[in-house]
């Protein structure tokens, strides 16, 4: 009887040990699976260009890190990040330094110290605290009709306040972030009073109430609704190379002028990216920013979307080269976000719709 009890006790012990061993193996398998699934990075973006998707695919092939992309408007994504807390994305990618500053102001981004990024991206094109980094650049220029505007008429942004431009200027609404950032740069360079005077005079010289996007301003000039437009360079570059023949015909009637070359320089802005405060895949997020700021990738941005590269070692696309080199405003783009609230107030004060 004792032998029987001992025998069954022995068998039970073996089964128990075996079960524990299997459980440990299962745990290891689960750990390995979790490690594999962690090779990802989650990106919120307001950009919607084919080249972006192509570059994410290249990054995945090069690193094995999966890029999970969710698109939306910048303001929608900022609200989503606030709402989601530590369950939000790793990266926030959007156009305009002003929008990036909004995310920073609300405590949604974190500072990143990285030698590769510091080398690839000039100091004035990244946040003063390294909470966001510019990846592509565009200039906000004067576009004029070749047959109705004499080049000698053009000089500076400030000159657009002259009565000679009355009824000739087309520009977007005051709700447009690009115009808000343009005025924010004037606040920094010229002071609030002069910035307000400028905005007030532009309203007086508008050919029509603001309507549509930058392409619509170009089309308006071609149609004779105005003689000049204020718009971003990459829109005109895209129109010149468009599959839409009508857009090409519009763009061929227009020419680019870089204002303030003898004074404060032409206004530039960026599309930029920041790592979220709650990023769960920070290392992978840094790798993606490094990749997007590298020379090869910057060249692809430039040729596909007619944006200026931020990496100083990369040349612009041929379309942009034909417009020539230009002097840029000498300001850190963080200023555009810092002065945004004041710019909006000025627009409201002068009745810029």
Residue 329 within a domain:
no
Q: Which residues of 72-96 are buried (b: 16+ CB within 10 A; e: fewer)?
A: eebeebbeebeeeeeebbbbbbbbb
Could you tell me the pLDDT band of residue 26, with boundaries at 50, 70 and 90?
very low
Give residues with Cβ within 8 angstroms of 351, minimum separation 6: 203
27 part of a folded domain: no
The range of the structural domain enclosing residue 105 comes to 40-137+271-315
Strand 169-170 relative to strand 133-145, pairing: unpaired
149: phi then psi, degrees, rounded to nearest 5 = -125, 130
Same-domain status, 210 and 287: no
Q: What angle do CA 259, 260, 263 make, to 5 degrees?
A: 175
Q: Are residues 208 and 346 in the same domain?
A: yes
Say whether both 229 and 286 belong to one domain: no
Lookup: tokens for 246: 């009508």
Three-state DSSP class for residue 206: strand
Tell whether 259 and 286 lie within a shared domain.
no
| Strand 169-170 relative to strand 228-232, pairing | parallel
In degrees rounded to 5, what are phi and psi of residue 32?
-65, -40
Regarding whether 161 and 254 lie in a shared domain, the answer is: yes
Residue 184 lies in a domain: yes
DSSP annotation string for 46-57 = ----HHHHHHHH
Q: Does residue 221 share a domain with residue 237?
A: yes
| Domains held by the chain: number | 2
198 and 343 in a common domain:
yes
Q: Please indicate, yes or no, whether residues 192 and 117 belong to a single structural domain of this protein.
A: no
Residues in the chain: 353
What is the structure's pLDDT at 322?
94
Q: How far is CA 42 from CA 88, 92, 134, 244, 278, in A?
A: 8, 9, 19, 34, 11
**Does 158 fall in a domain?**
yes
Say what the pTM is: 0.87
Does the residue 34 lie in any domain? Answer: no
- Residue 162 sits in a domain of what CATH number? 3.40.190.10
109: in domain: yes
Residues 109, 79 share a domain = yes
Whether 173 and 243 share a structural domain: yes
Instruction: Determine the number of helices (DSSP H) and then strands (DSSP E) in the chain.
Output: 15, 9
Q: Answer yes or no: do 132 and 153 share one domain.
A: no
For the stretch 191-208, pLDDT in tens is 999 999 999 999 999 999
* Same domain flag for 93 and 145: no
Predicted confidence (pLDDT) per residue in 261-315, tens digit: 999 999 999 999 999 999 999 999 999 999 999 999 999 988 899 999 999 999 9
Is residue 144 included in any domain, yes or no? yes
Q: What is the pLDDT, as a whole number, of residue 12?
A: 42
Residue 261 falls inside a structural domain: yes
**Residue 38's pLDDT is what?**
60
- Token pair 């769960």 in the structure block, residue: 280
Average pLDDT over residues 174-183: 97
């Amino acid at each position: 009887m004792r032998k029987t009890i001992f025998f069954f006790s022995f068998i039970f012990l073996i089964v128990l040990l075996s079960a524990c061993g299997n459980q440990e193996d299962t745990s290891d398998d689960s750990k390995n699976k979790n490690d594999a699934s962690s090779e990802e990075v989650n990106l919120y973006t307001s950009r919607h260009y084919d080249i972006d998707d192509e570059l994410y695919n290249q990054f995945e092939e090069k690193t094995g890190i999966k890029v999970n992309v969710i698109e939306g408007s910048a303001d929608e994504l900022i609200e989503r990040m606030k709402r989601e807390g530590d369950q939000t994305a790793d990266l926030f990618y959007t156009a305009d330094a002003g929008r990036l500053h909004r995310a920073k102001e609300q405590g949604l981004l974190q500072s990143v110290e990285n030698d590769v990024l510091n080398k690839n991206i000039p100091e004035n094109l990244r946040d003063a605290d390294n909470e966001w980094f510019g990846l592509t650049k565009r200039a906000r220029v004067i576009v004029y009709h070749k047959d109705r505007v004499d080049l000698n008429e053009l000089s500076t942004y400030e000159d657009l306040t002259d009565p000679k431009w009355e009824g000739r200027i087309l520009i977007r609404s005051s709700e447009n972030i690009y115009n808000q950032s343009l005025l924010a740069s004037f606040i920094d360079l010229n002071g609030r009073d002069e910035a307000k005077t400028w905005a007030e005079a532009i309203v007086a010289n508008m050919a029509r109430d603001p309507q549509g996007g930058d392409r619509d301003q170009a089309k308006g000039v071609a149609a004779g609704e105005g003689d000049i437009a204020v718009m971003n360079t990459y829109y005109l570059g895209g129109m010149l190379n468009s599959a839409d023949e009508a857009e090409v015909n519009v763009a061929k009637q227009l020419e680019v002028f870089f204002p303030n070359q003898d004074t404060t320089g032409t206004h530039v802005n960026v599309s930029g990216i920041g790592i979220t405060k709650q990023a769960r895949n920070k290392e992978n997020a840094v790798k993606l920013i490094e990749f997007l700021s590298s020379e090869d990738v910057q060249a692809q941005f430039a040729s596909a979307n007619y944006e200026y590269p931020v990496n100083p070692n990369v040349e612009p696309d041929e379309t942009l080269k034909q417009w020539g080199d230009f002097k840029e405003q000498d300001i850190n783009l963080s200023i555009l976000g810092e002065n945004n609230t004041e710019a909006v107030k000025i627009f409201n004060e002068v009745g810029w719709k």
